[in-house]
């Protein structure tokens, strides 16, 4: 049976790409999903999941070499769930926030919450207290799990959002120190030492499509980041889609030539609060039988050491990490012969960088994939029949995904024609939490409007041309111009402003603020022109002091007489994006610092 399962809506017709994936129809593979994530990963079997005969560790802590196997993961998940239920009565739809860098107990906290019917929202550990408090308030979190290194910020945010200190848990063990806050290790022991305090959540048939698993935050074109409501079904379906496309349970070639091999090792440096790290790096690779070497934070030299030490086979990266691989001379000091595959995501990787990486690592297969938080996560995936992905390509459309490309006049584009991408897939999120207006703009009649300008070729490969929406991608992180503009307008020197992205080889793009000065600031510069640089520095510092690092105005501050707007008052941001590119080209704008 051949699957004709990749659909691209063209003008008046639907083009179908037939590919032999598996002799099981998609409707059978997806229709019986009525379980939550820990059941899928820890308890059950699935026809596309390989049987792991290698008994390799599931997780390895990069810094210590401590390893955790399947039975220990399963036991710790139960123990923590039991403690969360008995201590804080965490249960149906209660939200638990994990505010921490990567840690081998991060997935334990995730799945323990899901065992109880709860929902997890992961927060960036680099957040300021105000940013974290906003997330806690929006999600109405009942418990805050944090790393000891982020405790001070967590305490401030908890106080500001109304979470009492007795609902704070430390993720790491804090060995050798005393603390008034329980840690995961002590809670696991506590939960294992007592009788059951909860009845495990079981879903009715079809309920997985609506039962929330995650509230991941995604920046939008207006205001602050929004909570994307992601059900269990979405993550499970996307994991199966990737496994199907990657043929993780098929003997389609020799073991040496297979891309995904049970027992191999993948480096888990992508942050687990981000959808890329959470779904692809964690769930897909564990489903496929890999060992995850868990890195608490990205350090390039430490990554090279770990590749050599742990004989890592797969790397999942973002473009800035590829830049370092290509340009840092330290690469030559380490044995990278174990590497077999590198995948880049979160932002487009240029063809030039792909070629440089290929020259540096000729034995490694290098590819890209495409997805977003609202599609939870990938809608395209690397082809198996290529060692190096088509330059500039974001991968091949996954089975079960339907795409349409809408041109500016509202008609549907043909193959090779650019337009805005709309996606239907079994992995789509449901909505933005408590934000009906934003939901209507993005989730439209079963489609997700991506805001990305793309085209698709006859091989069902997708090519990202540009973003039609205003969101910036800085080192793979989403940055909403409107959020920075709202903050800048509270500065006494700023009368009006528009923030745009400036192209940057390392970060993809970085924020630059065009600023209309207040009258007092303009008069100050008129009287003393040397004050212009001082005021620019003050404005940049105002953002740096209040926003996470990747939102800083690394692109700089440029003064302008007036912000261009249309008759209804909407910012003509594209005009200033073009102006920013011209300024960079003429070296008027210089990016002086890396994030």
Mean pLDDT of successive 10-residue stretches along the chain, which has 595 residues: 46 40 47 80 90 90 96 97 98 97 97 97 94 97 96 97 96 72 96 94 88 88 80 96 95 95 96 95 97 95 97 91 85 96 85 86 96 94 95 92 92 92 96 95 95 91 79 81 82 89 85 93 93 95 92 94 67 83 75 50
Range 167-196 burial, b when 16+ CB lie within 10 A, else e? bbbbbbebeeeeeebebbbbbbebbeeeee
* Cβ pair 464, 372 in contact under 8 A: no
How far apart are the C-alpha atoms of 192 and 425, rounded to whole Å? 40
pLDDT at residue 379, rounded to an integer? 96
**Is residue 377 reached through a cis peptide bond, with omega within 30 degrees of 0 on the bond before it?**
yes
Q: Considering the domain 70-209, what is its CATH architecture?
A: 3-Layer(aba) Sandwich (3.40)
How far apart are the C-alpha atoms of 135 and 382, rounded to whole Å? 34
pLDDT at residue 450, rounded to an integer? 92
pLDDT at residue 593, rounded to an integer? 46
For the whole model, what pTM was predicted? 0.81
How far apart are the C-alpha atoms of 488 and 511, rounded to whole Å? 13
Superfamily of domain 472-585 in CATH is: ANL, C-terminal domain (3.30.300.30)
Query: What is residue 289's DSSP assignment?
Result: T
Where in the chain are the domains?
70-209, 472-585
Query: What is residue 89's DSSP assignment?
Result: -
pLDDT at residue 29, rounded to an integer? 54
CATH topology match: 70-209 vs 472-585? no
Quote the tokens at residue 196: 């059951």
Query: Can you state the percent helix, strand and coil of the chain, rounding each to 5?
Result: 35, 25, 40
* Cβ pair 83, 116 in contact under 8 A: no
């Amino acid at each position: 049976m051949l699957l004709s399962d990749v659909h691209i809506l063209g003008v008046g017709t639907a083009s179908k790409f037939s590919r032999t994936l598996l002799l099981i129809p998609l409707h059978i593979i997806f229709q019986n999903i009525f379980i939550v994530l820990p059941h899928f990963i820890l308890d059950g079997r699935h026809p596309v999941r390989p049987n792991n005969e290698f008994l390799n560790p599931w997780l390895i802590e990069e810094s210590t070499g401590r390893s955790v196997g399947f039975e220990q993961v399963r036991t710790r998940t139960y123990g923590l769930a039991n403690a969360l239920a008995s201590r804080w009565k965490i249960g149906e739809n209660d939200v638990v926030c994990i505010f921490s860098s990567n840690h081998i107990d991060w997935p334990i906290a995730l799945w323990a919450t899901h065992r109880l019917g709860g929902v997890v929202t992961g927060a960036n550990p680099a957040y300021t207290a105000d940013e974290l408090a906003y997330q806690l308030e929006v999600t109405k979190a009942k418990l805050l799990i944090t790393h000891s290194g982020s405790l001070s910020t967590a305490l401030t945010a908890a106080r500001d959002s109304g979470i009492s200190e007795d609902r704070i848990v430390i993720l790491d063990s804090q060995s050798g120190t005393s603390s008034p806050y329980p840690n995961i290790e002590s809670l696991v022991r506590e939960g294992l030492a007592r009788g059951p305090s909860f009845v495990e959540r079981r879903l009715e048939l079809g309920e997985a499509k609506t039962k929330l698993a995650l509230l991941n935050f995604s920046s939008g074109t207006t205001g602050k980041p929004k909570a994307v409501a992601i059900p269990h079904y979405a993550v499970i379906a996307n994991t199966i889609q990737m496994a199907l496309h990657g043929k993780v349970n098929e003997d389609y070639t020799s073991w040496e030539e297979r891309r995904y091999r049970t027992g191999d090792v993948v480096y888990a440096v992508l942050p687990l609060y981000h959808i890329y790290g959470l779904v692809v790096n964690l769930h897909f690779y564990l489903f496929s039988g890999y060992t995850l070497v868990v890195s608490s934070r990205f350090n390039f030299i430490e990554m090279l050491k770990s590749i050599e030490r742990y004989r890592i086979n797969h790397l999942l990266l973002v473009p800035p990490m590829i830049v370092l691989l290509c340009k840092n001379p330290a690469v030559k000091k380490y044995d990278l012969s174990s590497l077999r595959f590198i995948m880049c995501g979160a932002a487009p990787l240029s063809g030039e960088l792909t070629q440089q990486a290929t020259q540096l690592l000729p034995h490694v297969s290098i590819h890209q994939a495409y997805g977003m938080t609202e599609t939870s996560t990938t809608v395209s995936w690397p082809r198996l029949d290529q060692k190096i992905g088509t330059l500039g390509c974001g991968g091949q459309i996954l089975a079960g995904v339907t795409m349409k490309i809408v041109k500016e006049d509202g008609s549907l584009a043909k193959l090779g024609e650019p337009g805005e991408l709309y996606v239907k897939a079994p992995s789509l999120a449901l909505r933005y939490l408590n934000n009906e207006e934003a939901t209507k703009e993005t989730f439209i009649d079963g489609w997700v409007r991506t805001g990305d300008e793309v085209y698709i070729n006859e091989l069902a490969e997708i090519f990202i041309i540009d973003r039609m929406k205003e969101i910036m991608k800085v080192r793979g992180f989403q940055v909403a111009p409107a959020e920075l503009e709202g903050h800048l307008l509270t500065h006494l020197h700023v009368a009006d402003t528009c923030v745009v992205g400036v192209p940057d080889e390392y970060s993809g793009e970085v924020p630059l603020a065009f600023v209309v000065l207040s009258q007092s600031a303009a008069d100050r510069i008129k009287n003393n022109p040397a004050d212009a640089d001082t005021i620019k520095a003050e404005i940049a510092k105002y953002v740096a002091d209040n926003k996470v690092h990747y939102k800083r105005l690394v692109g700089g501050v440029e003064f302008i007489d007036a912000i261009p707007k249309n008759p209804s008052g909407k910012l003509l941001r594209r005009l200033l994006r073009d102006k920013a590119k011209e300024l960079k080209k003429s070296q008027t704008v210089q990016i002086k610092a890396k994030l």
